[in-house]
């Protein structure tokens, strides 16, 4: 019997709605196996902030550290000043738990829709740096609300931070069929950070002689994601560029409702955290119409991370089959389904 301690941070907006379906599918995947998950729910997010003014206390963090993995829904609410929860809770978790790899795969499942006329065989993964870049909170504002206001948001890139995520990206590539890494940055303008990234890739690449690599400026990368998405294998990039590119990647490969991610601490000095790429979607929160597929796929990534490859594949196959059935119409494809109907359908497929 293997028991994992799972911290659940459902969060805000559609977070609790999609996490409920993620847990439903986790239960389906582990049914009849000797694997169990003991879950602890952490009531963090807008409600807690309104009640106490707290985002993530030291005690919360310590309690979360006592878990093997984390499943997160989404953080952020229009009733809370922008950035308070995103920085004080979500990014704090990623930074404090040293989740320096933000792994975001993009696959266009057979039968799934893409708005592109020639999407081809989309199957790439973005390895986004998760603890540095412009998201570290290094900046400030002077003369606020005057005509002379100045605001800075400094991107911090350390050799240590860049090197470890670049090495991770190459190690991902070496296990894939095409074995190719594309560094995405903007080193023609951001010469300090960009050249650090380029020099680091040049230094790390020889450790992986079977992996080829090339470079794209981020603006050109946004074009190529639309015109030739099938040409990508592994993309490595910084925190901000990776954030933006992965929403675009979601849009071309089935939509934001299918985009999963893992915030991984490869050194295992703290728990890794799995969450959909999307946010709290306040525009549809409470309506029971959010697509839980991305959360279910994130549960699959969590199982894969824990070494349960077969269960992970089962979960991914179930989501892919559900997506295909939805597109094709048929019993499950008739009309819009509720969040829990999608969860039920995927769970049934997992059970087989």
Ligand X SMILES: CC(C)CC(=O)C(=O)O
From the list 243, 275, 291, 332, which residue makes contact with Mg ion (rule: CB under 5 A)?
A: 243
CB of 241 to ligand X, least distance (A): 12
Letters for 289-308 (x = contact with ligand NAI by CB under 6 A, - = none) are -xx--x--------------
Beta carbon nearer to ligand NAI, 14 or 125: 14
Answer yes or no: is 286 a known binding residue. yes
Strand order in the sheet with 101-107: 35-41, 2-11, 69-74, 272-276, 260-264, 101-107, 123-129, 234-237, 180-185, 212-217
> Was 283 annotated as part of a binding site?
yes
> What's the token pair of residue 73?
């829904």
Closer Cβ to ligand NAI, 207 or 287, answer by number: 287
* Total site size for ligand NAI, rule CB under 6 A: 20
Could you tell me if residue 241 is left (phi over 0), alpha (psi between -120 and 50 degrees) or otherwise beta?
alpha
Biggest CA–CA distance in the chain, Å, is 65
Q: How far is the CB of 283 from ligand X (least distance, A)?
A: 16
- Beta-carbon-side half-sphere exposure of residue 201 (alpha carbons within 13 Å): 24
132 lines the binding site for ligand X (CB under 6 A) = no
Question: Does residue 28 interact with ligand NAI by CB under 6 A?
Answer: no
278 near 293, Cβ under 8 Å? no
238 binds Mg ion (CB under 5 A): no
Site string for Mg ion, 289-308 (x = CB under 5 A): --------------------
Task: Give the C-alpha distances (Å, rounded to integers) separating 256 from 4, 33, 199.
Answer: 29, 31, 33
Candidates 6, 8, 46, 90: give the one binding ligand NAI (CB under 6 A).
90
Instruction: Tell me whether residue 128 is annotated as binding.
Output: yes
Query: Which residues would be at the binding site for ligand NAI (CB under 6 A)?
Result: 14, 18, 74-76, 86, 90, 256-257, 275, 278-284, 290-291, 294
């Amino acid at each position: 019997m293997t028991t994992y301690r799972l911290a659940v941070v459902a969060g805000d907006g559609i977070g609790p709605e999609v996490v409920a379906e993620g847990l439903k599918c986790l239960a389906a995947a582990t049914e009849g196996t000797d694997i169990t998950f003991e879950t602890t729910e952490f009531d963090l997010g807008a409600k807690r902030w309104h009640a106490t003014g707290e985002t993530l206390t030291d005690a919360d963090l310590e309690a979360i550290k006592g878990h093997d993995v984390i499943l997160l829904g989404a953080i952020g609410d229009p009733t809370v000043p922008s950035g308070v929860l995103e920085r004080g809770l979500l990014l704090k978790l990623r930074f404090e738990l040293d989740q320096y790899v933000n792994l975001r795969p993009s696959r266009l499942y057979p039968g799934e829709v893409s708005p592109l006329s020639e999407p081809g065989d989309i199957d790439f993964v973005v390895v986004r740096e998760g603890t540095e870049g412009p998201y570290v909170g290094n900046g400030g504002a002077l003369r606020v609300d005057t005509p002379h206001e100045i605001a800075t948001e400094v991107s911090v890139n350390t050799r240590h931070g860049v090197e470890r995520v670049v090495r991770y990206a190459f190690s991902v590539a070496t296990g894939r069929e095409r074995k190719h890494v594309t560094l995405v940055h903007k080193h023609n303008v951001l010469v300090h950070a960009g050249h650090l990234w380029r020099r680091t890739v040049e230094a790390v690449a020889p450790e992986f002689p079977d992996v080829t690599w090339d470079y794209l400026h981020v603006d050109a990368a946004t074009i190529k994601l639309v015109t030739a998405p099938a040409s990508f294998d592994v993309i490595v990039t910084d925190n901000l560029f990776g954030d933006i590119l992965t929403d675009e990647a979601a849009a071309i490969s089935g939509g934001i409702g299918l985009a999963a991610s893992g915030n991984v601490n490869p050194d295992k000095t703290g728990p890794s955290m799995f969450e959909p790429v999307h946010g709290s979607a306040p525009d549809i929160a409470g309506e029971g119409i959010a697509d839980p597929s991305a959360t279910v796929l994130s549960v699959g990534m969590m199982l894969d991370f824990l070494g349960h490859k077969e269960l992970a594949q089962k979960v991914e196959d179930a989501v892919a089959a559900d997506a295909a059935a939805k597109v094709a119409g048929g019993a499950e494809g008739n009309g819009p389904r509720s969040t829990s109907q999608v969860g039920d359908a995927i769970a049934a497929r997992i059970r087989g």
